[in-house]
Amino acid sequence: MSTPRIWINTGEVSGDLHGAHLLEAFRKLAPNVQATGMGGQALREAGQKALLRVEDLSVMGFTEVIGHLPKILRMLRRIRAELIARRPDVVILIDAPAFNFRVAAMAKALGIPAYYYISPKVWAWREGRVAFLKRHVKRMFCIFPFEKPFYAKHGMDVEYVGNPLLDMLDFAKLDAIEPDPRRIGLMPGSRTKEVRALMVEFGGALRLLLDKRPDLAVECMAAPSIREDFLRSFWPADIPLVIRPPEVRYEALRRCSAVLAASGTATLETALLGVPTVAAYKGSALSAWIARRLIRVAYVSLANLTLDAPVIPELLQKEAVAPGMAEQLGRWLDSPEERVAARARFAELRRLLGPPGAASRVARHILEDIHSR
């Protein structure tokens, strides 16, 4: 059998984790696969030759991207040169549309089939980008059930493969962990800008809660790209804080009675774990102004979008401040009935996002396409 040569391109830490699981799925089906591209720690550990580092790109928001434009252009030039020199069989793009759309255009111009795993959120804003995807992407793999009818509405046939988080969570083990009614969890994000914006407010929220509930314990889940000293630099020195490393975050989260989390993949993880959550996001004022005029969905949290209901409270921009966070967390802590109702909806979320095996299905589809040529 010939050696499959794949290029995996990620643009953020959450995509890096999905890319690593995808590469592991490839290796089970084709142990001789060669993987290069742009990745982070997880992909490098999975065996990718990461010619570019996702840590050098991890930005979010319109104005934040503009500030990193020279670096981004240098990375794109490097990718084009490497694609020309290496001629991989396929290019696999994972989320990060602001960057990966340019890589898709490069691959198309070079005659290299491009596959998109973890569909870009074109259903949230700028629906017109679907036309670009139809022209430049050979096959789109979606991980949320509401995405398939969205693309069908635009005349694009995509494959729903299930959600990869279902393969990362050992539900039999995690469901056996009983939540501690005194434990609060924090997930301030995987980007330095969002940590800087949210960690101070998280600390203010916990100070307000501790005034009424002095027995609360606080744990923070560190993202792979964020150092402990950086997290602590924004945290009140007089409030005890335990920082958990990424490899034990699911067990630690499951022990929490409620969680404050940066909006994004983190809130989907907590929902699948059955943990009542408050989602928060705070970007630059200009980014927020642009987003308000472009975003066309009712919710920001992926769990809320999938369930089509505001199960997770969302505090965005000016609302993402300590008093509001403390109030929402207090509601979760004070209302066992609301926690039980939320967990029932989160159990429904697991059913909607199944079945497990998303990465294996994607790897099999792509390998079949490679070998059919």
Give the model's pLDDT for residue 314.
95
Tokens 């979606």 sit on residue: 142
The answer to whether 205 and 260 have CB atoms below 8 angstroms apart is yes
Of 224, 246, 220, which is closest to residue 233 (Cα–Cα)? 220
Mean pLDDT across 208-218: 96
Same fold for the pair 5-164+357-372 and 171-353: yes
Identify the residue with better confidence: 320 or 14: 320
- What whole-number distance in Å separates Cα of residue 41 and Cα of residue 55? 9
Q: What is the largest CA-CA distance in the chain?
A: 66
| Average model confidence (pLDDT) across the chain | 91
Residues sharing a CB contact under 8 Å with residue 340, sequence separation 6 or more, in sequence order: none
Give the model's pLDDT for residue 98.
84
- Phi, then psi, of 324 in degrees rounded to 5: -65, -40
The band of 134, judged by pLDDT with boundaries at 50, 70 and 90, is: very high
The band of 334, judged by pLDDT with boundaries at 50, 70 and 90, is: very high
Percent of the chain whose predicted confidence (pLDDT) is above 90: 76
pTM: 0.84
Token output for 131: 């036309």
- 230-248 confidence digits (pLDDT tens): 999 999 999 999 999 999 9
Mean pLDDT across 120-140: 88
Tokens 């800087």 sit on residue: 196
Tell me the C-alpha to C-alpha distance, in Å, between residue 302 and each of 19, 88, 118, 211, 239: 19, 33, 13, 32, 31
Token output for 179: 């939540």
Mean pLDDT across 175-180: 96
Q: How far apart, in Å, do the first and last CA atoms of the chain sit? A: 13
- 29-49 confidence digits (pLDDT tens): 999 999 999 999 999 999 999
What residue ranges do the domains of the chain occupy? 5-164+357-372, 171-353
The band of 292, judged by pLDDT with boundaries at 50, 70 and 90, is: low
The answer to whether 195 and 234 have CB atoms below 8 angstroms apart is yes
Identify the residue with better confidence: 260 or 193: 260
5-164+357-372: which CATH number, 3.40.50.11900, 3.20.20.80, 1.10.1040.10, 3.40.50.2000? 3.40.50.2000
The dihedral region occupied by 346, where left means phi > 0, alpha psi between -120 and 50, and beta the remainder, is alpha
- What whole-number distance in Å separates Cα of residue 229 and Cα of residue 84? 41
For residue 85, pLDDT over 70 is answered with yes
The band of 67, judged by pLDDT with boundaries at 50, 70 and 90, is: low
Q: In what order do the strands lie in the sheet with 277-281?
A: 242-244, 217-221, 180-187, 256-262, 277-281, 314-316
Using CB atoms within 10 Å of the CB of residue 93, give its burial: 0 to 12 exposed, 13 to 18 middle, 19+ buried. Answer: buried
The band of 297, judged by pLDDT with boundaries at 50, 70 and 90, is: low
CATH number, domain 171-353: 3.40.50.2000
Residues sharing a CB contact under 8 Å with residue 327, sequence separation 6 or more, in sequence order: none
